[in-house]
Chain A
């Protein structure tokens, strides 16, 4: 199985802050890496696929980068609705695996 490790596990930020979350795979996944946002008591929502492809309707303040084993999700200017937990997920091989999550809360 491919292990996905996110850092940090949690962070505190203010509206307007630039936020960066990293995800590391235990082996190369090329760009088969996706990011999801999960608000409390809601299902995960796909934000970014293929490491950097923004899904339709997702604000442009979200961006993703990376390839191989190291990836980054950046929120350029944090908005109130962005306080949530973010998960990376590899789509390189089964079993599909997720990172442990990064919770972004109010500073």
Chain B
């Protein structure tokens, strides 16, 4: 059973950077899956941030592309998110998730972390 666990600061200052890590257990990050970040502002819906493959290839949401960097550490079986120039609008629960390819395409989120709340303070 694949498990994902997010970690990182729960409070970030406005104009600073948000950095989170997702540790993967029960499976290899080098498997044939993409790994993703999704966020959810309090009381709102889900927004896809981007995805990364174990090779380091990435795809980002155009709405965040200028501020997002994702990286992968195959030796530690984990991947990371960095979001720059944060504002209050970036306050959200951040989830890491595994993407699965099936008859539903390759954008199927089949395993999720529990999520971590990041608050941007002014």
Contacts and interface: CB of A to CB of B under 8 A. Distances in A.
- Of B63, B102, B105, B106, most buried by chain A (CB within 10 Å of CB) is B105
A32 B48 contact: no
Contact of B106 (A42, A46, A91, A100): A91
A43 interface: yes
The SS class assigned to the B binding surface is strand
- Of A33, A50, A91, most buried by chain B (CB within 10 Å of CB) is A91
B103 to A, nearest CB: 5
Interface residues of A, number: 29
Given A32-B107, A34-B108, A50-B103, A43 B45 contact: no
B48 A98 contact: yes
Number of chain B interface residues as a range: 20 to 34
Interface string A70-107: 00000000000000000101111111111111000000
B107 A87 contact: no
A46 B109 contact: yes
A31 B104 contact: yes
Interface in B78-117: 95, 97, 102-110, 112-115
Given A43-B95, A43-B113, A43-B115, A94 B107 contact: yes
Nearest to A95: B61
Q: What 4 A-B pairs are tightest by C-beta distance, nearest first?
A: A91-B107, A43-B112, A50-B104, A91-B105
16 contacts: A31-B103, A31-B104, A44-B95, A44-B109, A46-B108, A49-B102, A49-B104, A53-B102, A53-B104, A90-B107, A92-B105, A93-B107, A94-B107, A95-B62, A96-B48, A99-B45
